[in-house]
Chains A and B, each alone.
Chain A
Amino acid sequence: IAGITQAPTSQILAAGRRMTLRCTQDMRHNAMYWYRQDLGLGLRLIHYSNTAGTTGKGEVPDGYSVSRANTDDFPLTLASAVPSQTSVYFCASRRDRERTEAFFGQGTRLTVV
């Protein structure tokens, strides 16, 4: 079934450790996004990519990095995790950056202790 796959589904991570959240889509979408969602409320944009090879910073990029080596994959890395990065992380993709529907993964629940 076409869509977006995130891994892992959940993770408990010790503070100071490095962690990469994986995101893969098979819809050949150009644009991809990483959001974090706290307290069951709105989504805050961490990083985005309009096309393979390009990335941009969102509202809360500090402590996170991304890469977009190809169309399908958009990994999010926490270089040295801190407790304030405890959140639910959603990856999303759109066909392009114009007015099209964003499709979301199921999310990764990350707890930093």
Chain B
Amino acid sequence: TQLLEQSPQFLSIQEGENLTVYCNSSSVFSSLQWYRQEPGEGPVLLVTVVTGGEVKKLKRLTFQFGDARKDSSLHITAAQTGDTGLYLCAGANAGGTSYGKLTFGQGTILTVHP
């Protein structure tokens, strides 16, 4: 079973602070995605990273895929109250009998205080 470990599970910060969320696994993934979920809704895709070492930026959010494609990080610069939500990483199996499975981490609940 491929497991994705996200840390921290809870994060409470003040507006303007920086933060990093980590997503780690012992398995290799063909791609890794980050989603954000609002209460009462399904997750919505933020980014997909595919190549080992890849870095993608989405305004104040920076996503990185580890060189070995086993881990990823999400860094938010100067957090705003609108960043509050549940952040989820998801890994797609690289191959084998489980090819196509999309496995999620347990999520990080981010609260940004004004």
Contact = CB atoms under 8 A, between A and B. Distances in A.
B43 to A, nearest CB: 6
A22 interface: no
* Most chain B Cβ neighbours within 10 Å, of A35, A58, A102: A102
Contacts, number: 78
**Which bucket holds chain B's interface residue count?**
20 to 34
B88 interface: yes
Interface string B32-47: 0101000111111100
A31 interface: yes
Nearest to B49: A99
B13 interface: no
Contact of B88 (A42, A58, A101, A106): A42
Contacts of A74: none
A62 to B, nearest CB: 14
Contacts of A41: 9, 86, 106-107, 109
Nearest to B42: A104
For chain A, the bracket of interface size reads 20 to 34
A97 B88 CA distance: 19
Contact of B33 (A56, A59, A102): A102
Contacts of A107: 40-42
A90 B88 CA distance: 14
Given A59-B1, A90-B42, A99-B48, A44 B86 contact: no
Interface string B18-34: 00000000000011010
A31 B6 CA distance: 25
Interface string A88-113: 00101010011111111111000000
Given A42-B105, A99-B30, A101-B33, 12 more contacts: A35-B104, A40-B109, A41-B9, A42-B6, A44-B104, A48-B100, A48-B102, A90-B42, A92-B102, A99-B50, A99-B92, A107-B40
8 contacts: A40-B86, A42-B105, A42-B107, A43-B43, A50-B100, A56-B98, A97-B92, A106-B42
